[in-house]
Amino acid sequence: MNQSNAETIPALLQRNIPRDLLMAVDEALMAGAQRAYSAAKGMDDGHLPHVVGQLRHFNMNESFYRALEVGNSAPTPIRGNGLVTGRAGIFTLARFNIPLGFWTNGRRSCTRRQMSFANTALEPLTQPDMFDHYVEPAEAVAFFVSCFSGSIHNHPESPTTIQIAVPNRDMSGWLFREPLDAFQQRYESECPIQQDRAIPTLKRKTITQEQDGGKK
């Protein structure tokens, strides 16, 4: 079996993105979303969804930046509505928010679509008849996608799920996506089992007998 046949997108993500970074991003995005909702309290219901949406963008961008910075992932500067991206191995990492179920919303950003073209090289991994054409790329893109309830009154303070997602070249579909908490379990399943090489030995008890055959 050659390398291309053995490779998978989840394995490629695991090899390039440390688990500690994934955990930091997960916590950071949750915290950013909660700060956004708290800051929006008291606003009129008529525009509360729009206010929360804007505050989510800014607060979650800041939290994402800090997680990338702590993870030594070279985050790009925070600039208004611009994307914050980082780097882990071959992957450029970015984020966006969507209403739960509306994955096509990710394509609205021209910048995200341009970034995703790098994943052309990953597409053979999802099409067995193209395995022979696969060469591990020097560049790829993965997104952290925070999915929120469609109703601002239905648990709006935090995402329903945060997923790690790898789009195809034009973001018209997804080569791989999985909830972040489930993906983190893959690291645990890959941990080698350390064998206990200690060999117990029994100490020989010396019994001293007296000359008359009695024991001391």
Report pLDDT for 28. Answer: 97
Report pLDDT for 194. Answer: 45
Rounded Cα distance, 163 and 105, in Å: 15
E strand or H helix that includes residue 97: strand 91-99
What is the distance, to the nearest Å, from the Cα of residue 179 to the centroid of all Cα atoms in its chain?
8
Q: Is the pTM of this model over 0.85?
A: no
Report pLDDT for 202. Answer: 45
Cα separation values, 108 from 82, 120, 175, Å: 13, 19, 18
* 84 burial type by CB count under 10 A (0-12 exposed, 13-18 middle, 19+ buried): buried
* Local confidence pLDDT in tens for the 216 residues of the chain: 344 446 899 999 999 999 999 999 999 999 999 999 888 887 877 777 788 889 999 999 999 999 999 999 999 999 988 899 999 999 999 999 998 888 888 888 999 999 999 999 999 898 866 656 778 899 999 999 999 986 655 556 889 999 999 999 999 999 999 999 999 999 987 654 444 444 444 444 444 444 444 444
Task: Please state the length of the chain.
Answer: 216
**16-44 as b/e, with b when 16 or more CB fall inside 10 Å?**
ebeeebbbbbbebbbbbbbbbbeebeeee
164 CB-side CA count, 13 A: 23
